[in-house]
Amino acid sequence: MPIVTVLTDFGLTDPYVGQVKGAILGVAPGAQVVDLTHAVPPQDVTSGAFLLWSAVEVFPPGTVHLAVVDPGVGSARRAIALQARRGDRMVGPDNGLLLPAAERLGGPVRVVELSEPRYWRQAQPSGTFHGRDIFGPVAGHLAAGLALEHLGPPVVDPLRLALPAPHGLDGEVMHVDTYGNLVTNLPAEALPARYRVRLGDHVIEPRPHYAAAAPGALLALVGSAGLLELSAREASAATLTGATRGTRVQIEPA
């Protein structure tokens, strides 16, 4: 059964997510559609790219990943599909959203522009909803076995978006999750054997797990994405510290 993941900034108040899923299933009714998230901050391509990067590796090779964070919808920006070296396919706008995730899966080996209307929704595409009218149907066709080259001509210069990289032991908050955990861009392998974390006026000690800290206390640990996270036991680190995406984080060897 083919898997199609969906990541958007659409939220869940409106029927947009359901319509995109309907467009996928209208082409590939046997597909298993998995929601990654629909809570990407509106039009925040960098945040969407980070969340897609953090999620794709766990899925089996050959998965189709549909991502729509598209402030340029209806403009001259290209719509693309790509295949990563691992075998996964990705569909979305050519605004850098897909490339970090593709790099995590070995890098893109083929990129094409979605220029063949026969694989779009069979109605005049809306200038504001390419997720439903172009990306969703294309993802369905890929899940149903269509080869990438049928979708349009090769793209040799897809827009690349570089996620913020740490500078030595100085990093930043990349994402605040639903629990208020602060996910940084500092990978586990960059951390000294003994360290502490400075976040504004807070000095935070590492712990192996949440329960190793006192209730309400801040702690640092390596999270599920292999990145340093700053958390609070049974509380929100974001609320306790006032940190948001982009807040500076410093590692101090101890």
Verdict on whether the full-model pTM lies above 0.85 = yes
**Residue at a domain's end among 118, 151, 184:** 151
b/e sequence 226-237, b meaning 16+ C-beta within 10 Å: ebbbbbbbebbb
In tens digits, the chain (254 residues) has pLDDT values of 799 999 999 999 999 999 999 999 999 999 999 999 999 999 999 999 999 999 999 999 999 999 999 999 989 999 999 999 999 999 999 999 999 999 999 999 999 999 999 999 987 888 999 999 999 999 999 999 999 999 999 999 999 999 999 999 999 999 999 999 999 999 999 999 999 999 999 999 999 999 999 999 999 999 999 999 999 999 999 999 999 999 999 999 98
> Does 141 lie in the same domain as 175?
no
Backbone φ and ψ for 112, nearest 5 degrees, come out as -130, 155
The CATH number given to whatever domain includes residue 47 is: 3.40.50.10790
> Does 124 lie in the same domain as 54?
yes
Please report whether residue 19 resides in a domain.
yes
**Residue at a domain's end among 151, 183, 213:** 151
> Does 142 lie in the same domain as 182?
no
Please report whether residue 47 resides in a domain.
yes
Please report whether residue 242 resides in a domain.
yes
Domain count, the chain: 2
Q: How far apart are the first and last CA of the chain?
A: 50
* Tens-digit pLDDT profile for residues 82-92: 999 999 999 99
> Does 101 lie in the same domain as 70?
yes
In degrees, rounded to 5, the angle at the alpha carbon of residue 164 between the alpha carbons of residues 246 and 71 is 80
> Does 175 lie in the same domain as 226?
yes
> Does 134 lie in the same domain as 104?
yes
Please report whether residue 210 resides in a domain.
yes
The CATH number given to whatever domain includes residue 203 is: 2.40.30.90
Q: Which helix (H) or strand (E) holds 90?
A: strand 89-93
Q: Whole domain around residue 191: which residue ranges?
A: 170-253
Residue 72's SS3 state is coil
Structure tokens given for 215: 């209730």
Beta strands 202-204 and 195-199, pairing class: antiparallel
